[in-house]
């Protein structure tokens, strides 16, 4: 399967061919829909074909059926019309929702840059998101964090994906910020998200989600609250100001 969102996360419409369709969803030979994973929700939108249309209510990873890539299920409402295998279809992404996920996910990477502790959990949302950190509460000042976060956003740092080999990843354990989840290895390379330039790095860590191209695109962010979730586990909840 060709993952079109990997090459261009700004792609809003694309053509594909149905591989299989049934009660569990629709499988395609290519998709621009991001599947639920890494704390980022699955994309929604619509699939059109000659004589039919169906809403995509979720996108999830499934057991691979093909050798050249992961299998992705496009979830549709029960009893919806389904395009048969071999049908040419047009994919329409719910762009506004995806773009909010991209903005928020990038903001969460910036939050990692201003909070020194390891990440113990997180969830991306279109309206608000959260990251949990292994830090004492005294080290997190809500107003100071919010100002640092928005300063990085206003600086409009470049954001790009890069890859390193599995061996390089093993030799650089400091890149992994999450305590509970390790980056997937075994394919020969690991995808990293880099914020900033090579000589002025803001953040660099493994991530397979979708992100904006520059931090300025995020827009102003508010830290809604900081919650105590354990002895040294602090939850930081983010939201858009718009």
CA distance 54 to 63: 23
- What per-residue confidence (pLDDT) applies to 187? 65
- What per-residue confidence (pLDDT) applies to 184? 61
- What per-residue confidence (pLDDT) applies to 26? 96
Domain edge (last residue) among 49, 65, 93: 93
Domain edge (last residue) among 73, 93, 113: 93
User: Where residue 39 sits, what CATH number does that domain have?
Assistant: 2.40.30.130
pTM score: 0.92
Q: Is there a single domain that holds both residue 101 and residue 54?
A: no
Position 157 pLDDT exceeds 70: yes
Q: Is there a single domain that holds both residue 146 and residue 226?
A: yes
Mean pLDDT of 150-163: 97
Number of domains in the chain: 2
Q: Is there a single domain that holds both residue 139 and residue 217?
A: yes
Q: Is there a single domain that holds both residue 131 and residue 154?
A: yes
Residue 52 token pair: 């039919």
Q: Is there a single domain that holds both residue 235 and residue 165?
A: yes
Q: Which of 60-69, 105-114, 155-164, 209-218 has the lowest mean pLDDT?
A: 60-69
Question: For residues 200, 241, 210 and 87, what is the CA-based torsion angle, rounded to 10 degrees?
Answer: -160
Q: Is there a single domain that holds both residue 76 and residue 134?
A: no
Q: Is there a single domain that holds both residue 63 and residue 158?
A: no
Q: Is there a single domain that holds both residue 120 and residue 232?
A: yes
- What per-residue confidence (pLDDT) applies to 97? 98
Query: How does residue 64 score in pLDDT terms, banded at 50, 70 and 90?
Result: low
Q: Is there a single domain that holds both residue 34 and residue 125?
A: no
Position 186 pLDDT exceeds 80: no
Q: Is there a single domain that holds both residue 56 and residue 125?
A: no
Domain edge (last residue) among 48, 78, 93: 93
Position 77 pLDDT exceeds 60: yes
Q: Is there a single domain that holds both residue 117 and residue 208?
A: yes
Q: Is there a single domain that holds both residue 49 and residue 79?
A: yes
Helix (H) or strand (E) holding 100: helix 95-114
Percent of the chain with pLDDT over 70: 92
Containing structural domain, residue 120: 97-240
Residue 239: phi and psi, rounded to 5, are: -150, 160
């Amino acid at each position: 399967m060709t993952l079109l969102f990997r090459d261009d996360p700004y792609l809003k419409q694309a053509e594909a061919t149905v591989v299989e369709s049934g009660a569990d969803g629709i499988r395609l030979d290519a998709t621009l829909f991001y599947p639920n994973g890494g704390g980022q929700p699955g994309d929604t939108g619509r699939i059109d074909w000659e004589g039919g249309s169906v809403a995509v209510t979720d996108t999830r990873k499934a057991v691979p059926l093909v050798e050249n890539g992961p299998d992705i299920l496009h979830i549709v409402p029960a009893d919806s019309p389904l395009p048969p295998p071999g049908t040419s279809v047009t994919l329409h992404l719910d762009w506004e929702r995806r773009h909010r996920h991209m903005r928020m996910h990038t903001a969460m990477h910036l939050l990692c840059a201003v909070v020194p502790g390891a990440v113990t959990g997180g969830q991306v949302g279109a309206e608000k998101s959260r990251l949990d950190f292994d830090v004492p509460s005294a080290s997190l000042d809500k107003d100071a964090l919010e100002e640092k976060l928005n300063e990085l956003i206003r600086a409009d740092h470049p954001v790009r994906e890069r890859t390193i080999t599995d061996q390089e990843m093993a030799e650089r354990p400091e890149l992994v910020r999450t305590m509970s989840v390790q980056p997937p290895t075994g394919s020969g390379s690991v995808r990293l998200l880099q914020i900033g330039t090579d000589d002025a790095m803001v953040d660099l860590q493994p991530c397979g989600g979708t992100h904006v191209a520059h931090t300025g695109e995020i827009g102003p962010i508010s830290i809604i609250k900081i919650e105590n979730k354990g002895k040294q586990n602090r939850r930081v909840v983010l939201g858009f100001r718009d």
